[in-house]
Chain A
Amino acid sequence: MSHHQVIIIGSGPAGLTAAIYTARADLAPLVIEGEPSSDSDQPGGQLMLTTEVENFPGFPEGVMGPQLMTDMRSQATRFGAEIVTAKVSRVDFSERPFSIWIGNPEMTEPTHTADTVIVSTGARSVMLGLEAEQRLIGHGLSTCATCDGFFFRDQEIAVVGGGDSALEEAGFLTKFASKVTIVHRRDELRASKIMQNRAFDNPKIEFLWNTIVDDILGESKVEGLAVRDTLTGEARTLAVTGVFIAIGHRPNTDLFADQLDMDEAGYLVTGADRSTTNIEGVFACGDVQDHTYRQAITAAASGCMAAIDAERWLESSSD
């Protein structure tokens, strides 16, 4: 068991910014960064699955998402943040110091204890919830366009969703696919205007409005997408060999059930204009507590707030 003044759970822009600030405040933070995966629940977070980030200030030519995260990580370690590649399996915030387990959650002794904890576990992409998803993931169904787009050269594929990430994926996929159909359940997009205009101008992108997905077809690989028009009720099959799902995100808060206050969607509730949670000494930042903005820059900003809140709380509680 090791004790730390600050433990940060999660390593996206929020967690790593909190690490940079607390490390520079000489608090020697431990960052538990997560474990590799092919969805956004991985070290570095959602940006690890994106390509060009064009709206992070300071990069006039844009920056690749994974590069940005690698740089933030180096910046944190440069000031003495310690980073472990592991997933937290259990937390106990009922008494101080707070307890954190890695690996077997049944162990009596926690892996780490901390005076303050900064929660920045982010959000992960939501799947449709179809049985076919289990069977076809990696066989034409993908959660990572940057990983798998390559395998759909000259093929027709579908992207499900209508937000920025759906349009970004669709645009990226047109480098490979002969045609990308965006299946969206409404008749307008949530995505930003610039992303919308780019998609409308892209001759390889087609939109299927007011359309929901009933099923993904194929036994051992994707052979089609069963969709239904929500206005007419008409069902049809799209002949696609690839399906990319980008319908939104869910906060990673299962770990904190019954300990930290959440709203009905599972986002952590923080104090007004603060990073405080219902437990004194536990702070939250980034997408895990933000269902409004959800940007890399707002995550980073809230990570800075959490670091300063944690630092001040440590000072005041040691008086």
Chain B
Amino acid sequence: MTGAISDLSENTFDEEIGSATEPVLVDFWAEWCGPCKMITPILEEIAVEQEGALRVAKVNVDDAPDLARRFEVMSIPTLILFSNGQPATRIVGAKGKPQLLEELAPHL
């Protein structure tokens, strides 16, 4: 599916991030987090618009607490951009689309 946001689990995370040919923006989120819900439509738009340059994936911290711990996520939403399998930048807190794109631009 084009521009789709994939769900990463503790089992699939390393494989998917490691094998990606483009940078992957991972959204650490949870069902009970209001600001996380606010940015979901923005991430969906970015996934479609940046297709080919960027992939978007999400990690539910309720289902994958070990991943949250491993990347020291202590606040959600946290967005981590992985480039060549390594964290390249981290955006903490919900932001508007213009600001998100501005913070991601240097890494794309």
The residues in B between 20 and 41 inclusive whose CB is less than 8 angstroms from any CB of A are 30, 32-39
A148–B34 Cα gap in the complex (Å)?
A: 11
The answer to whether the Cβ of A230 comes within 8 Å of any Cβ in the partner chain is no
The answer to whether the Cβ of A24 comes within 8 Å of any Cβ in the partner chain is no
Most buried by A among B35, B36, B61, B62: B35
The answer to whether A148 and B35 touch (CB under 8 A), given A36-B95, A38-B94, is: no
A137–B78 Cα gap in the complex (Å)?
A: 12
A147–B72 Cα gap in the complex (Å)?
A: 15
Least CB distance from B86 to A in Å reads: 18
The answer to whether A43 and B38 touch (CB under 8 A), given A142-B75, A150-B61, is: yes
Partner of A147, one of B33, B68, B99: B33
Contact present for A151 and B73 (CB under 8 Å): yes
A103–B98 Cα gap in the complex (Å)?
A: 9
**Least CB separation from A140: chain B residue:** B74
Chain A, 50-85, contact with B by CB distance < 8 Å: what is the 0/1 string?
000000000000000110000000000000000001
The answer to whether the Cβ of A203 comes within 8 Å of any Cβ in the partner chain is no
A184–B77 Cα gap in the complex (Å)?
A: 29
Contact present for B75 and A66 (CB under 8 Å): no
The answer to whether the Cβ of B53 comes within 8 Å of any Cβ in the partner chain is no
Say which size band chain B's interface belongs to.
Answer: 20 to 34
The answer to whether the Cβ of A291 comes within 8 Å of any Cβ in the partner chain is no
The answer to whether A146 and B32 touch (CB under 8 A), given A42-B38, A43-B38, A151-B75, is: yes
Contact present for A35 and B30 (CB under 8 Å): no
The residues in A between 126 and 172 inclusive whose CB is less than 8 angstroms from any CB of B are 137-140, 142, 144, 146-148, 150-151
Contact present for B35 and A144 (CB under 8 Å): yes
Contact present for A36 and B35 (CB under 8 Å): yes
The answer to whether the Cβ of B42 comes within 8 Å of any Cβ in the partner chain is yes
The residues in B between 70 and 105 inclusive whose CB is less than 8 angstroms from any CB of A are 72-78, 92-99
The answer to whether the Cβ of A250 comes within 8 Å of any Cβ in the partner chain is no
**Least CB separation from B94: chain A residue:** A36
A137–B32 Cα gap in the complex (Å)?
A: 20
The residues in B between 36 and 68 inclusive whose CB is less than 8 angstroms from any CB of A are 36-39, 42, 61-62, 68
A144–B76 Cα gap in the complex (Å)?
A: 9
Contact present for A147 and B74 (CB under 8 Å): no
The answer to whether the Cβ of A87 comes within 8 Å of any Cβ in the partner chain is yes
The answer to whether A138 and B94 touch (CB under 8 A), given A48-B34, A151-B68, is: no
Least CB distance from B76 to A in Å reads: 5
Partner of B93, one of A37, A43, A44, A86: A37
Contact present for A146 and B95 (CB under 8 Å): no
The answer to whether the Cβ of A221 comes within 8 Å of any Cβ in the partner chain is yes
**Least CB separation from A138: chain B residue:** B92
Least CB distance from B39 to A in Å reads: 5
* Residues of chain A having any CB pair with chain B under 8 Å: 35-39, 42-44, 48-49, 65-66, 85-87, 103, 137-140, 142, 144, 146-148, 150-151, 221, 242
17 contacts between A and B (CB under 8 A): A35-B99, A36-B38, A37-B95, A37-B96, A38-B75, A48-B34, A137-B93, A138-B92, A139-B72, A139-B75, A139-B92, A147-B35, A150-B62, A151-B73, A151-B74, A221-B72, A221-B74
- Told that A44-B34, A137-B75 touch, could you supply 14 new A-B pairs with CB distance under 8 A? A37-B35, A37-B96, A38-B35, A38-B94, A48-B34, A48-B35, A49-B34, A103-B98, A138-B93, A139-B72, A139-B74, A142-B74, A147-B75, A151-B68
